[in-house]
Chains A and B, each alone.
Chain A
Amino acid sequence: MQVVARKELRSRMRGGRAFAVLSVYLLLLTCLVVAVYAFTKNVIGNQEFGGPPPPLGRILFYAVTLVELMLIAPLAPAFTANSIAGERERQTFDLVMTTPLRARSFVLGKLVSGLSYTLLLVFVALPVQVLALLFGGLSLTEVLLGFWTLIVACIFYASSSLFFSAVMKSTTTASIFSYLTVALSLIGAVFVFFVGIFGSGFLGIPFFFGGPEGGPTATLYYVGLLFVSLSPVTAGGFSAAALIANEGAFILRLPIERFGPNGPIQQGEVLLVSPWVTYSLIYLGLSALLVWLSVRSVRPTTARNPARPTRPPAAIIDPADAS
């Protein structure tokens, strides 16, 4: 694995492109911080909108984290989607596959190199994110949650792009499928979630939060949790909201209610794991599965019966003697 990762990283970091991407990325994030700071101080900070403004640090942190996710989402496939399909296109794939290098090492090396650069983007932005702590109103748990959400997203985007790179023959097709997956992860789950909200309101369909005729049930909470966990945006957002509402970092207590004539009547409560936990399990589980499938698909041949190999009928050269 180290062999492939070292070679890939050496090529990737050579020249000015890698550093140019890093610089532009950090410049965009810094501009965003300045813009959000100015906006919050001048518009929200004058309290014309009524009520106390949210803490500046929290606004800055979540804005930077969300934009960071939106910047990483297109970059992760760009670093990984061409890794194996590119070897096929460049006709270097067979050369590597005839070496004793294991398919597992090859695939993991590609993953590590692609992921390293993406994670580098997350780490270099850390000072910008942590800057928000200085403005107050933000807990360290929230910072860690945002950071973890980004890392899990990076791992999934890199793994899914690697998978498409392994099973597709051309880098173009692999890139298209990788970007579709990333888009589905970011937009698809959010779309389904809002359809659920609006559906429950306008169509009278009890979905995530129940309809007009009844309050949320435990089943609806579970289904809602599943949908929320499908996207880093919703999973991170809801987990952060729970933290802000003084819920636990791992376990949430949600009420089961029924609408009575004088308002909602609480009938009990349901314990749920925080969405970031299920999100992590789903995304990391999927990532492991996709990497495993990638390893299987790049292996040109598998040893039929290594424990009892066949020997030529007339012993030509005895392997024992040859070695």
Chain B
Amino acid sequence: MAALVQTQGLTRRYDDLTALDSLNLEVEQGSIFGFIGPNGAGKTTTIRILCTLLEPTSGEAWIEGYSVLDEPDAVRRRIGYMPDFFGVYEDMKVWEYLDFFAACYEVPANRRGKMTDDLLGLVDLGEKKLAYVESLSRGMKQRLCLARTLVHDPSLLILDEPASGMDPRARVEMRELLKELRSMGKTIVLSSHILSELADVCTHIGIIERGRLLDTGRVEDMISRLAVRKLIRLRVGARALTARQMLADTPGVIEPKFDGEVPQTDEEPAALSFGLTDDAEDQSQVIDRLVSVGVPVRSFTEEAGDLEDVFLQVTKGEVQ
């Protein structure tokens, strides 16, 4: 699949601070690319450079093959940008707001009316067409801003923390909307420092920390490649202390610990969890060892790795 966004050695310095350090990034056409990193990692700096709002200190960036530095006008026509903090013109009506931006994007006047109706329908604001923007809730304003990014039918949407400040229902609605946009052929780059926001919606992720891109790829590939530890949850009817000691002595077992209360005697039941590296013993052998020392195993389950595991593995826990 062709890359819609490409950066090469993208660097941005503010005096002594390097906000972005030689970022090399590719975003495939038709993907939803999640830019993950803690606050201050360089996500917004990257996004502002891609949106032609900020010049890099060095490096290059292209969108659909157009240089962000040499052809900002061509780039602007191809992107729809929603910043992390954005305002709206409160004294305008909803349709006027979209009409104004459509005019800024040089959408012909005779097409704007239908386009406005279609977009308001897409973001479920059709009934608010004649309402003033100031009367909308935050979630509605967020959806209106998303509709604004689509007025010129861009191929790429760049959304900086699109779900920040939303209530849980609005977040779910936003996720569904993003999936729908992808099905319409849009490529979406979005950033977040909340992993759960990205887990369900992204096809690709890039993990950035202190201005450096640590890893990037398809979500499932990264999970299978980087989730080197499997999380096992174990429930025992008794001999919990013995079980924990035995697990601690087993090669490939990581951080065995009690979930909940720590038993005071070896006779008490307990719940434990531990990690298992890929080169650890087969799970059945671990169970055999537990049984052989007289531990009554009530349940033994493996939990799949997720985006959080990937993030922690890649950043090695150095960031929050």
Listed in ascending order, the chain A residues whose CB lies under 8 Å from chain B are 3, 7, 10-11, 14, 90-92, 94-101, 300-306, 308-313, 315-319, 322
Q: Give A94 to B87 CA distance when docked, in angstroms.
A: 9
Query: Contacts of B74 on A, CB cut-off 8 Å?
Result: 319
- A99 proximity list for chain B (CB < 8 A): 76, 101, 104-105
B79 CB contacts on chain A under 8 angstroms: 98
- The interface residues of chain A lying within 8 Å CB-to-CB of B96 are 7, 10
Residue numbers in A under 8 Å from B66 (CB-CB): 309, 319
User: Would you call A304 and B70 a contact (CB within 8 A)?
Assistant: yes
Q: Which among B52-60, B115-123, B202-210, B245-253 touches the partner chain?
A: B52-60
Q: Does B148 contact A (CB under 8 A)?
A: yes
A-B pairs with beta carbons under 8 Å apart, 5 shown: A92-B86, A97-B53, A98-B76, A312-B8, A319-B74
Q: Are B67 and A309 in contact (CB under 8 A)?
A: yes
The CA-CA distance from A94 to B247 in the complex, in Å, is: 56
| B101 partner residues in chain A, CB cutoff 8 A | 95, 99
Given contacts A100-B77, A316-B3, A317-B2, contact A7 B70 (CB under 8 A): no
Instruction: Pick the 7 closest A-B CB pairs, nearest first.
Output: A309-B70, A91-B87, A90-B87, A99-B104, A319-B65, A316-B3, A3-B103
Beta-carbon contact of A301 and B55 below 8 Å: yes
Contact status B65-A98, CB under 8 Å = no
Docked Cα-Cα span, A185 to B73, in Å, equals 39
B8, chain A: closest CB distance, angstroms: 7
Which of B70, B87, B91, B104 lies in contact with A14, CB distance below 8 A? Answer: B91
Across the interface, do A11 and B92 meet the contact criterion of CB distance under 8 Å? Answer: yes
Residue on B with the closest CB to A15? Answer: B91
Q: How far is the CA of A304 from the CA of B70 in the complex (A)?
A: 5
Once the chains bind, are A312 and B148 in contact (CB under 8 Å)?
no
- Give 1 or 0 for each of B1-12: 1 = CB within 8 Å of chain A CB: 011101010000
B81 at the interface (CB under 8 A from A): yes
- Whether A98 touches B67, Cβ cut-off 8 Å, given contacts A11-B89, A301-B72, A312-B6, is no
CA distance A265 to B235 in the complex (A): 119
Q: Would A3 and B2 be within 8 Å (CB), given that A301-B54, A303-B73 are in contact? A: no
B287 in contact (CB, < 8 A): no
CA–CA, A318 and B100, complex, Å: 31
Q: Does B83 contact A (CB under 8 A)?
A: yes
Which residues of B have CB within 8 Å of A90? 87-90
CB-CB under 8 A for A98 and B81, given A91-B86, A317-B65, A322-B65? yes
Does A305 contact B70, Cβ atoms closer than 8 Å?
yes
B141 to chain A, nearest CB (A): 12
Given contacts A91-B85, A94-B86, A98-B51, contact A313 B65 (CB under 8 A): no
Complex contact A300–B54 (CB within 8 A): yes
**Shortest distance from the beta carbon of A214 to any chain B beta carbon, whole Å:** 59
- B164 CB contacts on chain A under 8 angstroms: none
Contact A98 B3 (CB under 8 A): no
Quick check: is B286 within 8 A (CB to CB) of the other chain?
no
A306 CB, min distance to chain B CBs, angstroms:
6
B302 CB–A CB distance under 8 Å: no
B71 within 8 A of A: yes
Chain B interface (Cβ < 8 Å from any Cβ of A): 2-4, 6, 8, 26, 29, 51-55, 60, 62, 64-67, 69-74, 76-77, 79, 81, 83, 85-92, 96, 100-101, 103-106, 145, 148, 155
A312 contacts which of B65, B72, B76, B77 (Cβ < 8 Å)? B65
Main secondary structure of the interface of A (DSSP, over half): loop
Q: How far is the CB of B9 from chain A (nearest CB, A)?
A: 11
B38 to chain A, nearest CB (A): 23
Q: How far is B133's CA from A11's CA once the two chains are assembled, in angstroms?
A: 12
The answer for the CA separation of A322 and B62 in the assembled complex, in Å, is 13
Q: Check if B52 sits within 8 Å of A308, measured CB to CB.
A: no
CA distance A316 to B100 in the complex (A): 33
With a cutoff of 8 Å between Cβ atoms, the chain A residues found around residue B106 in the complex are: 100
Task: Give the distance to chain A from B241, nearest Cβ to Cβ, in Å.
Answer: 57
| A14 vs B79: C-alpha distance when bound (angstroms) | 32
Asked if A310 and B69 make an inter-chain contact with CB atoms under 8 angstroms apart, the answer reads yes
Q: Are B70 and A316 in contact (CB under 8 A)?
A: no
Tell me the complex Cα distance, A312–B54, Å. 19
Whether A94 contacts B70 in the complex (CB less than 8 A), given A300-B54, A313-B8, comes out as no
Bound Cα distance from A41 to B148, whole angstroms: 63
Give the shortest distance, in Å, between A319 (CB) and chain B (any CB): 4
Q: Closest CB of chain A to B59's CB: distance in Å?
A: 11
Contacting residues, chain B, for A91 (C-beta < 8 A): 83, 85-87
Q: Least Cβ distance of A69 to chain B in Å?
A: 30
Q: Is B85 a contact partner of A311 (Cβ separation < 8 A)? A: no
Q: Is the CB of A308 within 8 A of B70?
A: yes
Give the chain B neighbours of A309 by CB distance below 8 A.
66-67, 70-71
Once the chains are docked, how many angstroms separate the CA of A315 from the CA of B67?
A: 12
- In angstroms, Cα B105 to Cα A308, docked, is 24
Which of B51, B60, B65 interacts with A318 by CB under 8 Å? B65
List the B side residues contacting A312 at CB < 8 Å: 6, 8, 60, 62, 65
Instruction: Considering the complex, give the chain B residue whose CB is closest to the CB of A14.
Output: B91
Write the chain A residue with the least CB distance to B132: A14
Distance of A110 from chain B, by nearest CB (Å): 13
Determine the distance from Cα of A7 to Cα of B66 in the docked complex, in whole angstroms.
Answer: 31
Residues of A within 8 A of B26 (CB): 316
The winner among A91, A311, A317, A322 for most chain B CB atoms within 10 A is A317
Residues of chain A within 8 A (CB-CB) of B155 are 322
Indicate if the CB atoms of B73 and A316 lie closer than 8 Å.
no
Chain B residues within 8 Å of A11, by CB: 89, 91-92
Q: Tell whether, in the assembled complex, residue B52 and residue A98 are in contact, meaning their CB atoms are under 8 Å apart.
A: yes
**Considering residues B65, B73, B105, which has the most beta carbons from chain A within 10 angstroms of its beta carbon?**
B65
Min CB gap B58→A, angstroms: 12
Give the residues in chain A near B52, CB-CB below 8 Å: 97-98, 300-301
Closest to B77 in A: A100
Is A92 touching B6 in the complex (CB atoms < 8 A)? no
